[in-house]
Amino acid sequence: MISLNRVTRVFNSRDGDQVTALQDVSLEIGRNEFITLVGPSGCGKSTLLRIVAGLILPTAGRASIGGEEITEPRAETGIVFQAPTLLPWASVLDNVLFPLRMMHRIDSGSTDKAMALLKLVGLNGFESKSPRELSGGMQQRVAICRALVHDPDILLMDEPFGALDALTREEMTMELLRIWGERPKTVLFVTHSITEAVVLADRVVVMSPRPGRIAEIIEIGLPRPRSFESEATPEFHQASQHIRQLIFGTRHVGSGRAAA
Amino acid sequence: MSVQAAPPLEERQKPPRRRKRSAALYEVVLPLIATACLFLLWEGAVRAFNIPGYLLPAPTDIWKDTMAIGPTVAGHTMATFKTVMLGFVASILISLPLAVVLTASPTIAAAVYPFLVWTQSIPKVALAPILVVLLGTNELPRIVITVLVAFFPLVISIATGLLSVPPELIELSRACRASKMSELLRIRLPYAIPFIFAGLKVAISLAVVGAVVAEFVNADAGLGFLIQTSTAFFKVPVAFGALIILSVMGVVLFQIVVAAERVFFPWSSSNTTPGT
């Protein structure tokens, strides 16, 4: 469904240097596949996500959705960011409807659709509340509804739970798996958390920095539905250990701090 | 046990109301008492030390002399009020599009910004007589001076507000393929509301200053004019009366801006409690 073919992206930094954020990244993502991107800061995870979103164009190579080259943002993608970035003046319902309003696609059925989404994420009854009356986790749930309201085939998530506390984060991860189970989408999920990457993904794409490239793509064969209890299985442990090694090498065992 | 358990719950519900009442006490009653005490002290000091009226008139004399020419003072107040409001509205009408243009185009910003700073570095009192020569002895130069005094902080705070939008929201807007216009109207301007009001609060206060500066130089009416003429004839109590009216006007207009923010944009002002 999503196809990246030797995608390279170079940024001009302020002092005139050229920074290669992504180099020769090739990746094929199937329909309704759950892909997580994991890697240290500066490995181009977010750049990759934004290229698929059409917010950034590749300097070289080709990125396409369903065979069509991505040259601008497309209606079949929805995005969730690290911060919920809800509109403080609008109600929860209006925040969910916001993309439709911006796209001039609002119609009589829109409110029902938004309400159904809010119910899906467990926020029924909160539609007329203001975002600041909601907790961080609830705000991010609203942001997920906002990304889904125009019924995109592809959900792009840029460290969506990165700003949440550890407990809320686990809860939201499970919540996302449940939502994905009910409404299958192709998901591209950027994270810093190896555990999160393994528990969510069909395949984990491990990236390495300077320049950002794919180190390895790891198939996760854990049976679904999953939970954090899968963490105890040897397969889970093996996968996350492998990812850890790819990211830190063997250095982190003795001198993790120096390696970072 | 259940009987004993009930009162704490009730008590727990009480504090917010009590806090609200004490907030009103602190915000309104205390300043009023303090002001009253100050006037009493003033009155007492003037009488006790026999301070001559042309140096420091007693509050009662100020009241008496000002009320003696009440209709005239009311006319002057209206003239100043008119200049302040016209200058304030003109400042908004100029600042809003200017800030939008400045934030939308770095090129225009680089070209225009030095001029903006330049208008601020000119002493407005020095500029006023020149403007009178240029524009004539009517309302126009007074409004121009008021605008020159008041608009700059407004432009800066609106521009800051327009740029304060989280980059993710702009990305979201781009992802929705929204036009620059709907990005401005639906995201940037609403986001700038708290900043706009911060600027408006400064601007309304400065507009009063600007109007008086303008009236000192060129006017046949207005409280600035009244202060000049009355001091020239040693009618110091009237000058004090005009001064007090000016400060009251400043405070009232400021509070109207504050109230407008609370009423129309309750999510913007930090003073409202969530859930009300």
Token pair in block for residue A74: 């497309």
B93 lies in the same domain as B149: yes
Are B41 and B93 within one domain? no
A15 assigned to some structural domain: yes
Distance from C-alpha of A227 to C-alpha of A170, rounded to nearest angstrom:
9
Say if the Cβ atoms of A99 and B172 lie within 8 Å: yes
Residue A189, beta-bridge partner list: A36, A157
Looking at chain A, the whole-number percentage of residues with pLDDT higher than 90 is: 23
CATH of the domain at B83: 1.10.3720.10
Q: What are A162-177's pLDDT values in tens digits? A: 888 888 888 888 988 9
Q: Are residues B110 and B184 located together in one domain of the fold? A: yes
A25 within domain boundaries: yes
Q: Is residue B60 part of a domain?
A: no
pLDDT over 90 (residue A35): yes
Task: Let me know if residue A166 belongs to a domain.
Answer: no
Q: How many domains does chain A have?
A: 1
Domain of A53, CATH number, reads 3.40.50.300
Q: Does A103 touch chain B (CB under 8 A)?
A: yes
Q: What is the DSSP letter of B122?
A: S
Identify the weakest region by mean pLDDT among A97-106, A249-258, B71-80, B143-152: A249-258
What is the percent of chain B where pLDDT is above 70? 89
| Residue B39 within any structural domain of the chain | yes
Band (A188; pLDDT cuts 50, 70, 90):
very high
Structural domain including A18 reads: 2-76+189-259
CA Rg value for chain A: 19
Mean pLDDT (whole number) for B10-28 = 60
Smallest CA–CA distance, residue B36 to chain A, in Å, is 41
Residues B120 and B217 in one domain: yes
Q: Compute the average pLDDT of residues B113-134.
A: 86
Are residues B255 and B203 both part of a single domain?
yes
Residue A222 within a domain: yes
- Please, are residues A133 and A116 in contact by the beta-carbon 8 Å criterion? no
Nearest to A89 among B166, B169, B190 (CB): B190
A13 within domain boundaries = yes
Highest-scoring range by mean pLDDT, A38-42, B88-92, B117-121 = B88-92
Alpha carbon of residue A61 to chain centroid: 22
Instruction: Evaluate whether residue A169 is within a structural domain.
Output: no
- pLDDT band of B12, cuts 50, 70, 90: very low
Is 50 exceeded by the pLDDT of residue B258? yes
Q: Which chain A residues are within 8 Å of B195, Cβ to Cβ? A: none
Question: Any long-range contacts for A108-112 (C-beta under 8 Å, 24+ apart)?
Answer: A110/A149
d(CA B35, CA B29): 10
Tell me: do B231 and B258 sit in the same domain. Answer: yes
State yes or no: pLDDT of B200 exceeds 90: yes
Query: Are both B32 and B99 inside the same structural domain?
Result: no
pLDDT at residue A232 in the model: 85
Q: Give residue-wise pLDDT tens across range B25-56.
A: 777 888 889 989 998 998 898 888 888 877 78
Region of poorest pLDDT, from A186-190, B153-157, B269-273:
B269-273
Residue A256 has what pLDDT?
A: 42
In this complex, do A132 and B166 lie within 8 Å of one another by their Cβ atoms? no
What's residue B274's pLDDT?
39
Q: Which residue of B has its CA nearest to A94?
A: B186
Residues of chain A contacting residue B171, judged by C-beta atoms under 8 Å apart: 50, 53, 55, 79, 81
User: Is there a single domain that holds both residue B174 and residue B108?
Assistant: yes
Asked whether residue A46 is assigned to any structural domain, the reply reads yes
Interface residue A218 vs chain B (CB under 8 A): no
CA distance B275 to chain A (A): 7
Helix (H, G, I), strand (E, B) or coil at A78: strand
Query: Do B161 and B230 sit in the same domain of this protein?
Result: yes
**Residues B215-231: tens digit of each pLDDT:** 888 778 888 888 888 88
- pLDDT the model gives residue A121: 84
In A122-181, the residues whose Cβ lies within 8 Å of chain B are 130, 132-133
- pLDDT at res. B230: 86
Q: Tell me how close the Cα of A51 comes to any Cα of chain B, in angstroms.
A: 11
Residues of A in contact with B168 (CB under 8 A): 81-83, 85
Q: Do the Cβ atoms of A103 and B177 come within 8 Å? A: yes
Q: How many CB atoms lie within 10 A of CB B155?
A: 22
Task: Label residue A226 by pLDDT band (50, 70, 90).
Answer: confident
B147, part of any domain: yes
Is residue B170 situated within a structural domain? yes
Question: Which residues of B fall within a CB distance of 8 Å from A133?
Answer: 274-275
Question: Looking at chain A, which residue has its C-alpha nearest residue B264?
Answer: A89
CB contact under 8 A, B268 and A50: no
What domain range is B74 assigned to? Answer: 69-264
How many angstroms separate the CA atoms of A90 and A67, rounded?
A: 37
Number of domains in chain B: 2
Assigned domain for A148 exists: no
Q: What is the mean pLDDT of the segment spanning B132-154?
A: 88
The tokens describing B112, both together, are 């225009």
Confirm or reject contact between B175 and chain A (CB < 8 A): yes
One domain for residues B34 and B132: no
For residue B272, give every residue at least 6 positions away whose Cβ sits within 8 Å of its Cβ, in sequence order, or none.
B262, B266
B253 is a domain residue: yes
Residue B62 lies in a domain: no
Counting residues of chain B whose pLDDT is more than 90, the rounded percentage is: 32
